[in-house]
Amino acid sequence: MRHVTIVGGGQAGLVLAIGLLDAGFKVRLAQNRTGQDIASGKVLSSQCVFGTARAVERRLGLDLWDTAAPPIEGVRIAVAAPDGSGKAFGFVGRLDAPAQAVDQRIKFPRFMEIVAERGGTIEIAEVGVGELERYAADSDLVVVAAGKGPVSQLFERDTLRSPFEAPMRALSLVFANGVTPHEVTCATANIIPGVGELFMIPSLTHSGPCEILFVEAIPGGPLDLFDAKLEAGAQLDKIKALIERFVPWEYARVRDAVPTDRNAGLVGRFAPTVRKGVGTLPSGKAVLGLADAVVLNDPVLGQGSNNAIKAAAIYLDSIVRRGAAPFAAAWMNATFEQGFGRVEPSTTWTNMLLQPPPPHAIDLLARASARQELADRIAQGFDEPAGVLPLFADPARAAAA
């Protein structure tokens, strides 16, 4: 029985671990927190898993909240007028299959339980280079799906794929109760040109259905008001004030909102980075990078969990097809490139959205407000970005859409 060690119990690491266990592998999952630590801690991120990625989880028996989480049936996009006078235009695009957002404080502990139930070993440890050496010595393959400091530095930054050296957005989110729903349950994106974005995502948390209120602020701009010391209530008050000022058409929905719990807020910023997929330990042994460890995108497009699941599915198939052959560095690099190819349209589109929108992109969104077919195509692009990326990348294609 081949033995794989996976470092990082996030979305990608857990899906890969469970898939490998189902395929007959011996799996060790190394994670720095217990399920209880995660469940009782701060929210980990925003998340919205679209239909294609949900189908991967469903095949592994992991679509566990289908009746509990609000079914997200579409994507609502609104663009603020440049003079601050209100909404310039907006539309609702329908998704082919419903998306879903489940608080990772619920999801990850349950997935960890499933790893144990299906025969995997979970090791709670802060993993450094020394631990990786130990894993590499007793495993056929080590996959690094999380890591900071010396572990992340094992994977060289890919300068050609990493156009930004500094954070492009300052991030602030709160899980909130008391948000009035729209008639159609949608993930909402309010775009404020030159200022940032404000997202609203129906979700499921410990206390039941809720809404994630999520600010993406251009650093130094008027939305960039948050620091990690804010308690969730004060953070939510600031978000509501920004909604009232910049996207007032949403304010009535959030006026009475309150945090779901004392750990419902999160603040941060980071530079989007793509790294080389293979790291080399001091011993000369190679380890394979996965998901955020090597492809860290800004969440402005809501693709993080989707990319993690899609890449994990590619890695799972590649590992299983490898049979008894060694997991050599060349194979690792080929597997990473295949996984990156699967999520590259998402990375490219995300990086586009972090820059000032070109006129053809704004015109495309404006025309979608009057054409349901185009609105639906753009919404479906959040599920498979490759289907809509050409419209945002090429003015001629945008004009012809």
Nearest to residue 13, comparing CAs of 384, 397, 289, 391? 289
pLDDT band of residue 82 (cuts 50, 70, 90) is confident
Q: In the predicted model, what is the mean pLDDT of residues 290-314?
A: 97
CA separation for the pair 374, 245 (Å, rounded): 30
> What does the pLDDT look like over 116-127, one tens digit per residue?
999 999 999 999
Q: In the predicted model, what is the mean pLDDT of residues 96-121?
A: 98
* pTM greater than the 0.95 cutoff: yes
pLDDT band of residue 253 (cuts 50, 70, 90) is very high
Q: In the predicted model, what is the mean pLDDT of residues 248-268?
A: 97
Q: In the predicted model, what is the mean pLDDT of residues 200-212?
A: 97
pLDDT at residue 147, rounded to an integer: 81
Q: In the predicted model, what is the mean pLDDT of residues 159-187?
A: 95
pLDDT at residue 84, rounded to an integer: 80
pLDDT band of residue 202 (cuts 50, 70, 90) is very high
Domain residue limits, the chain: 3-62+102-163+271-353, 72-99+169-266
> What does the pLDDT look like over 1-49, one tens digit per residue?
999 999 999 999 999 999 999 999 999 999 999 999 999 999 999 999 9
> What does the pLDDT look like over 336-377, one tens digit per residue?
999 999 999 999 999 999 999 999 999 999 999 999 999 999
pLDDT at residue 83, rounded to an integer: 81
Which residues, in sequence order, are bridge partners of residue 299?
Answer: none
Check pLDDT > 90 for residue 184.
Answer: no
Q: In the predicted model, what is the mean pLDDT of residues 257-283?
A: 97
CA separation for the pair 332, 141 (Å, rounded): 10
Check pLDDT > 90 for residue 182.
Answer: no
pLDDT at residue 42, rounded to an integer: 96
pLDDT at residue 329, rounded to an integer: 98
Q: What CATH fold (topology level) applies to the domain 3-62+102-163+271-353?
A: FAD/NAD(P)-binding domain (3.50.50)
Q: What CATH fold (topology level) applies to the domain 72-99+169-266?
A: D-Amino Acid Oxidase; Chain A, domain 2 (3.30.9)
Query: Which token pair is 125?
Result: 């440890």
CA separation for the pair 108, 34 (Å, rounded): 10
CA separation for the pair 173, 242 (Å, rounded): 13
pLDDT at residue 149, rounded to an integer: 85
Other CB atoms within 10 Å distance of the CB of residue 181? 13
Please identify which residue in the block is written with the tokens 């469970």: 18
Share the mean pLDDT of the chain: 96
Residue type for position 1: M
pLDDT band of residue 185 (cuts 50, 70, 90) is very high
Phi, psi (degrees; rounded to nearest 5) at 290: -140, 145
pLDDT at residue 59, rounded to an integer: 97
